[in-house]
Amino acid sequence: MSLTREQALEQLHAWTSNPSLLAHARTVEIAMRAAAAKYGGNPEIWGVAGLIHDADYDRWPEEHPQRIVDWLREHAEEEIAYAVSFHQTRWGLPPKTQMDKALLACDELSGFIVACCLVRPDGITTLEPKSVKKKLKDKAFAAKVDREIIRTSVEVLGVDFDEHIQFMIDALKPHAEELGIAGNK
């Protein structure tokens, strides 16, 4: 069975009303489509995984991601269900595919990059990896973001940390207006 973006979006909206979570879902979808292009994956499948990975978090944060994984096992490719399972690091699952690794590496970092953009007058326009890394050292900034997951997920992906930050910036920059990270004009 093949879950379309439209079906994933419908399920996301059925379970999620928080505008920040909806924006995060779109951000991770964009990053995952770019990751698919970089790593030779299917951009539709990878994008859907990014879009729907937190669909149950708004309603059932304590159970996340069990509800969405169960739903995905009935309505989507197993590879999407597994990638969403793997992104919940407390479950301790091993990565099976590059998509699994990419979802984890794009998830936390995308939220952190958005936070960096929101405090910069020029948003993402001139954002560089060194600025992101400087903010990562400030534990009070975006305090809920798990810096250890960011670090270890990029290691699991097997790329240089600065390279992955730059990849994420480059993936999100063309969508800056839509994502609200373009800065002041």
- Domains of the chain, start order: 5-91+98-179 (1.10.3210)
Looking at every residue in the chain, the average pLDDT score rounds to 95
Residue 93, pLDDT above cutoff 90? no
Nearest Cα residue to 86 out of 72, 61, 65: 65
At how many degrees (to 10) do helices 78-86 and 98-118 cross? 50
Quick one: how many helices (H) and strands (E) in the chain? 10, 0
CB 105 within 8 A of CB 153: yes
3-state SS assignment for residue 124: coil
Q: pLDDT for 46-88, tens place per residue?
A: 999 999 999 999 999 999 999 999 999 999 999 999 999 988 7
| Band of pLDDT at residue 172, cut at 50, 70 and 90 | very high
Residue 126, pLDDT above cutoff 90? yes
State the DSSP code for 61: T
For position 182, what pLDDT does the model report? 96
3-state SS assignment for residue 120: coil
